[in-house]
Each structure stands twice: as C-alpha cells, then as structure tokens.
Structure 1
Amino acid sequence: MWKLVAVLACAVLSTAPRPIGAFNFLVLHPLHSGSHEVQLRHLSQQLALRGHRVTYLKFKNFVQLPPLEHENITSITLAVDNSDGHVPFVTPEKEGRFMLPLDVMWRDGLSPWGVPLDAFWTVPAHCDTLLRDVRLRRRLRQVGFHVALVDLLSNECGLALAHALGVPAVAYWALPATGGEATFSAGLSSPSGAVPAFMSTYSDAMNVLQRGVNLFYAAMNQLLMRFQFFLADRSIQRHLPGSPDSQQLLANLSGLLENSDFSVDYPREYPPNVVNVGCMQCREPYPLPQELEEFMRGSGEAGVVLFSMGATFDASIAPPELLQKLLLAFSRLRQRVVMKISGVLPKTLAVPSNVRIERWLPQQDVLGHPKTRVFFTHCGLHGAMETVWHGVPAVAMPVYGDQLDVSSLLVRRGLAVRLYKESSAQQILHAVTTVLDDPSFARRAAEAKRVMRDQLTSPLERAIWFVEHVARTGGAPHLKLASRTLSVVQKHNLDVMAAAAALLAVLVSVGLRWRPAVGPPRLFHSHRKTS
C-alpha cells in the first residue's frame, strides 16, 4: 500500500507544472570550454534560481570544475574516446580530457603564424562524440527545450545538435568579436576598415597601411574558418544528413551574447539580437580567508600587487627564467605581492618574504579589496573586464591569442602598461612601479569603473532577459536581420554595380557605333549663296 502511495506521489510530482514562465534551457560547451565556462555557469545558476530548468552539457577538460549543484540543473559530461591517441591535445585514454598545449602557447602564442594547425583535427572528434550518440539526442529531445545556449568557439556541431532538436540557439562568444565564428554570426558586420581584426592589435582608427594589413588578417580569418567549417560540415552531414551547413547555422542564430563592454572595447554596429554581456560574472567582493586577509591588511599604505595569469601559468610549464625574473622584480617592491601559480615551483627558486604564493584564489575578492593597487595579468578578457569593473590599473603580459588585442585595448585607454614574455626583471619592475607611482593610472581606472557600472541594467540582467525573450517569442525571428543571409556580393551591391557598369558599357558602345554613321555634329552652318 505504502509503495503504491509513494509511486503515485512521485508520478504527481514529476508531472507537476513548471512555475509560470519557466523554460528549459540546454547549455552546450565545445571540447575546450576553459575560462568560457565561468560565464555560462554563472548564467545557468541564475536561470535555475529563477525557476528555469537547465541541462548543462560539457566535455572532460584539463580543469574540471565541480558539477553545478541545484535541483533545477542537470549536468551531462561527455568524453572523447582517444584510446589510440589519434586526437591532438586530448589525453590518450578511453575518456580523454582536452589539454591546453601550454608549451606551444608560451612559445608561439602571440604570432598569427604560431596557431597549431593540428588543433583543427579536434573538431571532427568533438562532432562525432556529440552527434553520433542517438540515445543522447533522444534523451534531450524528450526534455522539450525552449532555447539552446551554445558556447560558440569551435562549436558548429553544437549548433547542428540544437537545430536537430528543433531548438532556437543563442550563442555565447567569450572573445573579442573580431575573428572566429563571431564574424559569421547573426549578420554581425565587421568592416575591415573600421573593426580591427583578430590579433592585429590595431584600434578602430587605422591609416591606409594598417587597413591593408587588417584586411589581410581578416581574409586569413575567413580562410581558416572556412577550413574549420569544411571539417565540421563533414561530420554534421554524416550524422545529421540534410542539416544546414555551419555558415547557415551561424547566420540564423536567434542571438549572440558577446563578452564585451563599450567602456573597454571599441564601439561598433550591432544587430538588435547581439547583446553585450561583458563582466556578466562581476560582483562585489566577498570576505577573504583569514590568512589571506591578514597578509593583505599587513601591507599598510603601500598595498598589494595581485599576480594572476590564469590557467596558462603553470610553474612546471612556464619558462623558469621568467619565474626567476618575476620573483626578482617583486622582491624589490615595497608592496606585498599575491601570486596565483598552479603547479610546483622549482626548488631552485627562492620566494621573497613579501610574496605569497596561492594555488587558487578568489580573484574578484582580491581585486575588490581596498589594499589592491595593481593587477599583473595575462589579459584574458574575463580578467580584463574584472579589473576595469573593480577599478584597478593593470600590468599586462599577454601569452597567446586574443590577449594581445585585449592588452592593446587597456593600454590605449591608459589603464595598463604592457610587457612581453621576454621582458627583463628591470623592465618588469619599471612597469609595475610606473603604474603604482603615476596617479593618472589609478584616476583613469576609477573613471573606467564608473563608466562600466553606469548602465540601465546589469550585463547579467540583460543576458537573462534576452534568453527569456527568445524563449517567449519562439526564437525571436523579429530581431533577425535580412542581411544575415546575403552574400558579400549582395550585401555590398556588387551585382547591382556590375549590372550598372555593364549597361553603361553597352550604351557607350552603341553610342560609339552610331556616331560615325550620322557624321560628326556640325557646330557652324554655312549660308553661302549659289550663283
């Protein structure tokens, strides 16, 4: 009897209606989610707190964050079968984990020619793992999702899965929208004369030579992306025959959440379904652990320098000579230094008395601490946004990819001084002391903080409203630009101009042929009498 009651109770609870206005969201990460996961985890948690249900799908990664704990969140973790070791950057095991090629990134990460081309071969591995699992698709289809939130970097197959499920897709782009899939998304315009290309380090005001170089960078981005689309589309058609290709999927996005803010990035034209959500994770600081708080407070008026270069700074992989130069430079500061370094420091390195090493630290809580004076950062976009939001000037040492562009943004706004991986200890010391001693850096950082926070709604509120709006309107078709499906020829009226030129050529040709037949025009007429 009690068993029957329990079964009936479970049945009633499982069929109970969702809260009014609640939706089902599907979050799809690519093979490598990395720091991109921070934003979408935060957004997923907030959606769950509002009564929505979230299915959170990701792949095993080199940094495995704990599962999201909420009754409205279901986590699914996939892994690439790399038992034979054929997939680059994935551990050779049955359930392989993606590993960042840190050695390559440290060596060649700032060169456009240093992009490891074998990284493209992770795309078919990701696609095959995600799309060939028919049981997974059946399970997801039964949920009845309203919107798919797709972490867009190398995730064309996530878009294909969302399309196969009949779910409108909203993409999240964690990098500057100057390269990659973002430049193909939702009709977003990226004219090379005004929008600096990925890794160009240019501003939005370029001279003739810079525009020429920028055009070349933009063309290279197009070429590389089309090769990636080719690889992804082969897998998509193998598992989902008849599916739209990658470019069509990107063009028909219901929206794009762009990790940017105009207080940092350059202003540009955005379609109505592209929403700036930069610093979506930013918040006021929480109290620090007691030992760390005591270290910070003990710095006195001099304050603290925060050093954090993200997951790229592993002591076992970062150049040992750079570690030595950093510690030597920091030992000469009157400030205390908190360094976030993963891995094990070489025993030959002596840690100065004013330096505290942490394997992990709550970055925003330290940035927002009143004793923090400077942020020494690699200039990942998340960290750059956070340092502006908390009003802390920076010393930038980019390591790879978009970090060079992001550091250029901060330097041009007078919020940072840039170093390079090859900088000497003296140059490091000079950069840090320049930012510490020149009050203009702190003044501009305070102004940038005020501008970033002076918004009608927060980035998180905008993101939540937008994805709910897409769910309520069945994909927000009213926000999609007609120009998103136009080719380059159509978008710039090159066909119209070609037709006009052809018509003009015909008219000129006819005019030239007709003129000799009637003779040259007579400007003066003779009225001589005949005898």
Structure 2
Amino acid sequence: MFVQRSRPWVWAFLAPLLCLFLSGHAASLSSPSFDLAPKNIVIVSVPASGHANPLVVLAYELADRGHNVTFVTSVSYNILEYARNSTIHFHRFVESLPFSENINEVAKLQSTDGGFVTRVMAHTKAVGLAARVMTPYQYDIIKEVVTTVKPGTVDLIIGDVFSAQAADILSQVLGTLCICHYFSITTTYYNPRNVFVENLYLTIYDGGADPVMTTMSVLKRLPGKAFLQFVSGLRLKARRQLYEKAKAELAQYLPATEKPAQPIISLVSNAWGFHPAQLAVPSTRMAGIWVPEAQSLDVQPDLKHWLDGASRPVVYVSTGTVAHPSNETLLAFYEAFSAATEFQTLWSLKKVFQNNLRELLGDQEWPEHVRIESFVPQLAVLDHPAVQIFFTHGGWNSVSEGLWTGTPMLGMPFFGDQTYNVAQTVRLGLGLMIDKNIMSSPDKAATIQLIQDKLHTILRDPSFSSRSKHFQKTFQVMGGVKKGANIVEEILAIGDTTVYSFPDNTNAVMAAMAILGLVGAAVTFGIYRLGAWGLGRLLKKRTPSAKAKAE
C-alpha cells in the first residue's frame, strides 16, 4: 500500500529530470557532438530560385554556426530578403550567356500543353536548349571561383544539381572536399549505380508514386532508366571537356600539383516517407526537408490584414517561379476562383502573367475575395491559420513548405519531379491532383467545375487536414536544414570523403550476367540437341524399317 500511494510522488519528482534528459538528448540530435573551427565554404549555384534558394537556406544555417560562407551565382539571382541581412557573402557575376532568359524559355517549352507528339517535340527542344546554356555557365562558375580565391583557402565546395560538374572540377583543381545538392537520389556520372539494381525500385522520374511494380510498369520504366544512363554518360563527357578547358585556360590560377580526387557526397534535401524507398550508396546522405528561416507577414501589412480578416477559408495558389501557365490555365483559374462561394483565394502570380490575365479579362474587375500578388512570403502565408489549402505546381521547394506547415495540397504538375511530388501527396492522403492538360479542353465549364470540386473536396473532408498535420510532425521530427548542416560539418570534421567511397561494379556485373546468359543458352541448346537425338533414336527403334516390312 505504501508503494502504491507514493508512486505519484515518485513520478512528480522524476518527471522534471526525465524532461531534462530528453531535451538534452534532442539537443544532441540537432547539433554535432564535436568541436569544429570555422571553415571556408564556397557554394555555387545557377540563378534559378528553385535551385539556389535551398542552398541559401543551408548557407544561412552554416553561416549562423560561424562558418565563412561565400555564395557564388550570377547577377540574375534575386537574393532572399532574410539572406541579405546575414553574414553570407554573395559573389555575383555576369554570365557569358543570358542564363535566366534561356532557362525561362526551357521552362516554357516544358510547360507546353497539347497532345503527346507536341509535348515530346517541345521537351526535346527544351533539353537541347538547356544543354547549350549549362556548359558555358558552369565554365563561368569555374573561372569566377579560381580567379578570385587563393589556392588552399577553401575547405569545401557545395554545388546544386545544375552546377555539379563545376563543383566537381573545382574540388579537383583546388584540392578540396565536394558536396552536390539534390532533391532526390539521382543517377549521376560520378555516382554510378548498378543498372540492374536500379530497376528494383521507384524513382521520382517514373511519373507515379506507387512503389509496387508490375511486369508492365517495369517495361514502361526501362526506357527512361536507360535514357538516364545515357545522359550520365553525356555529362561525364562534358565534365572531361570542361576540366581540360579549365586546365588549359586557367593554368596560371591553379596549384602546381593536384591532390587525388575524392568521392563526391550527394546531399539530398528530402526525407524517407516522402522520398521513394531506394537503395543508396554510402556517399548519398538523406538530409531532411529544408525550409527558410521563419518568415513574417509584417513585411506586407496589407496582406496580413486581408488574411487576418478572412471570412472564409483561404486557398493559396502558386505555380512557382519557373512554370509557364497558359492563357487557358489563367482564365480557368480565374473563373473558378471568382465564382467560388465557399472559399477566398490568395494567388501569387508573376507580373508578366498578371498582365496576360488583365489583357484576357479586359475591363472586368477582380472580385474582392480573389487577391493577386506578384510576391508573398510563402512559408508565412502557409503558416497562417486562415490558409486551408495550397494549390501548387508541385515543385519540391513548394511541396516542402506545404509538408512543413501541414497544409493540404491540390497539385497540378507541369514537368520534372513535380509529377511524382504531387502523386505522392495524393498517395499519402495529403491532397488531390489535377492534370494540367485538361486546361486546353474545349469544355471550359467542365474544367472550371473540376477545379472547384477538387478544392471543395479537400475543404469538406477533414482527413486531408489531419493527415497533413500528422506528416508535418513526422518530417519536422526527422530534422530540417539543421540535419543537413550537421552532415556538412561531419564531413568537414573528418576532412576526407574516402570513407564514403564505393566500387563501381556495374561492368563486372554486366559481364557476369552476359556470361551466365551465354552459358544458359549453351546448356539449353545442348539439352535440345540431346533430347532431339534421344527422341530420334526412340522413334527409330519403334518404327520398322522398309527392309523389315518387305520380309
């Protein structure tokens, strides 16, 4: 009896100690357990916000930890407001070819609506244009870095997916460590994957999100995987040419001797549970979902007042900074939002598309429950309690912020990884999906009704909100950008990436499989010949000869 009565007092005494222990344990997970002196880190990126912004998030965290971070990109990149007030040193240069204009054209081609043939032709043209722009830009990065930094003063180079070759070459010629940032585990020229093993699982470029494969789904995916292997080969060839050009034209700025190249680390700003389950080599590190430093709506007081005074649930709409919505899409969106009575809309739309919409509408006035802005602090908007749905194009940065804030999503993907991202939100019960190709349908009324029906379904079904909140907690517990910064500091503390090295056994496995195939074919042929001989002998014994018949 004494023990039973005293138990609440025991727990009351132990509870504070337990909380202290758990808080200390959590702190140990969010920060490295080793001391690290400030390091000199150079981050290189294309000026596209979808690729540069996540690296700015990482740069901000590393700079906040006391490291000297230099962010190298071109003048066409618009630096985020919170990053301007940080200790990050932004080094911007003028590119030899107009990068942003050409990439916008690439995005416009990839956003093309229409039939299958039309889309294939547009995508083929987009790939060609992107290739012509990327190589000169990567050389610009190499030249800019080697002509402005002193050899031996850089501890780490970090590059985005489109600057991977430049980061790789810089790490080799400057004798430093290298990390390349990706949104997903990706086949690369420096990260060879066994072509057979890679076909065992789903990747984000396969379109859907169902991880269970059938024979037909594998057959459909094989050409795409073969194409990725082909592209990796082309990138390896381009890397060699870039390296040779840099060695020839920038020799006066480079060290006299090169250190042996070290394995490149792939840092993936994603999380298991959303990212498809895949086999990964040791040099691939899953680094959690990255979102910007906490934003505030105070920078746009009129917008804050509008959201605070919202009388209906708010649907926040954005098609990102790269996707090009067609005029049909703009009109369908506008009509669907204007006629809505169950929600009001905040639409983030670039000025060029706003102008297109105004021309299409003529003198028609925009209703008060539809607010259009050219820019909003997206994370702060999604965090506002009035915002109940995020209508998104499915870009990874946008989906990351939707997941982080626990906001249900309606997705309309345009290209790239967007299709998988949206399909995965649907599979997890976090939202619904719309096919952008219906925007060009002649039945405009049906298209408008479909948009409204999807939004109404998400608003009326509480399971979308509850599941979104559940996954919000899941991904926040898994760690955000702090997890990525911890991995970076781990690599800096080790000072060597050879511990993450792995052999490329693809050729050996392919040769062994070919030999097994030939042996199998030879054995099969031998069995066939032996069976044919035996059957012939058997039939010969049973069938009387002509001489025997005559007798």
For the pair 1:428 / 2:451, whether they are aligned, the reply is: yes
For the pair 1:185 / 2:191, whether they are aligned, the reply is: yes
Look up the SS of the partner of 1:139 in the other structure.
Answer: coil
Distance 1:399 1:260 in 2: 20
1:394 corresponds to: 409
- Contact 2:263–2:498 (CA under 8 A) maintained in structure 1: no
Deviation at 1:379, TM superposition (A): 0.5
Alignment of 1:281-430 (within 5 A): 281=291, 286-288=296-298, 289-300=300-311, 302-312=312-322, 318-331=325-338, 332-343=340-351, 344-345=354-355, 346-347=358-359, 348=362, 350-421=365-436, 422-423=438-439, 424-430=447-453
Pairing partner for 2:270 from 260, 267, 284: 260
Distance 2:516 2:448 in 1: 63
Distance 2:522 2:327 in 1: 68
1:107 corresponds to: 112
Pairing partner for 1:130 from 119, 135, 141: 141
For the pair 1:208 / 2:189, whether they are aligned, the reply is: no
Look up the SS of the partner of 2:150 in the other structure.
Answer: helix
Deviations 1:308-358 (A, max 9, x none): 111136xxx632222121111112232121111111332425422211111
For the pair 1:450 / 2:473, whether they are aligned, the reply is: yes
Change (3 A) 1:195 1:408: same
Distance 1:188 1:356 in 2: 50
Matched residue type, 1:356: R
2:507 corresponds to: 489
2:177 corresponds to: 168
Look up the SS of the partner of 1:192 in the other structure.
Answer: helix
Change (3 A) 1:242 1:60: closer
Deviation at 1:146, TM superposition (A): 1.2
For the pair 1:237 / 2:244, whether they are aligned, the reply is: yes
Change (3 A) 1:204 1:106: same
- Contact 1:393–1:415 (CA under 8 A) maintained in structure 2: yes
Change (3 A) 1:98 1:426: closer
Distance 2:217 2:201 in 1: 10
Please identify which structure carries the higher helix content: 2
Distance 1:45 1:283 in 2: 8
Look up the SS of the partner of 1:311 in the other structure.
Answer: coil
- Contact 2:168–2:264 (CA under 8 A) maintained in structure 1: no
Matched residue type, 1:279: I
Distance 1:20 1:414 in 2: 42
Change (3 A) 1:124 1:446: closer
Distance 1:90 1:43 in 2: 23
Distance 1:465 1:106 in 2: 37
Matched residue type, 1:495: A
Change (3 A) 1:428 1:414: same
- Contact 1:197–1:214 (CA under 8 A) maintained in structure 2: no
Deviation at 1:417, TM superposition (A): 1.1
- Contact 1:62–1:99 (CA under 8 A) maintained in structure 2: no
2:230 corresponds to: 223
Look up the SS of the partner of 2:154 in the other structure.
Answer: coil
- Contact 1:151–1:173 (CA under 8 A) maintained in structure 2: yes
Deviation at 1:436, TM superposition (A): 0.9
Change (3 A) 1:327 1:51: same
Deviation at 1:440, TM superposition (A): 1.8
Distance 1:291 1:503 in 2: 74
Name the structure, 1 or 2, with higher relative contact order (CA <8 Å, separation 6+): 2
2:60 corresponds to: 45
Look up the SS of the partner of 1:318 in the other structure.
Answer: coil
Identity of aligned residues (%): 19
Matched residue type, 1:367: L
1:498 corresponds to: 515
**TM-score after normalising by structure 1:** 0.77
Matched residue type, 1:465: N
Matched residue type, 2:191: S
Distance 1:298 1:28 in 2: 42
Change (3 A) 1:210 1:25: same
Distance 2:290 2:175 in 1: 28
- Contact 1:281–1:460 (CA under 8 A) maintained in structure 2: yes
Alignment of 1:263-282 (within 5 A): 263-281=273-291
Distance 2:147 2:327 in 1: 50
Deviation at 1:234, TM superposition (A): 1.9
**Structure 1: runs of 5 or more not aligned:** 1-18, 92-96, 244-248, 514-531
Distance 2:142 2:36 in 1: 33
Deviation at 1:112, TM superposition (A): 5.9
Change (3 A) 1:112 1:467: farther
Deviation at 1:75, TM superposition (A): 2.3
Matched residue type, 2:425: L
Deviation at 1:236, TM superposition (A): 2.0
Matched residue type, 1:330: F
Instruction: Figure out how many residues of one structure are paired with residues of the other and give that number.
Output: 462
Change (3 A) 1:443 1:436: same
Look up the SS of the partner of 1:161 in the other structure.
Answer: helix
Change (3 A) 1:45 1:188: farther
Deviations 1:117-141 (A, max 9, x none): 22211133124323456xx415323
Matched residue type, 1:52: H
Deviation at 1:62, TM superposition (A): 6.2
Distance 1:167 1:131 in 2: 14
Deviation at 1:410, TM superposition (A): 0.9
2:158 corresponds to: 149
Matched residue type, 1:304: V
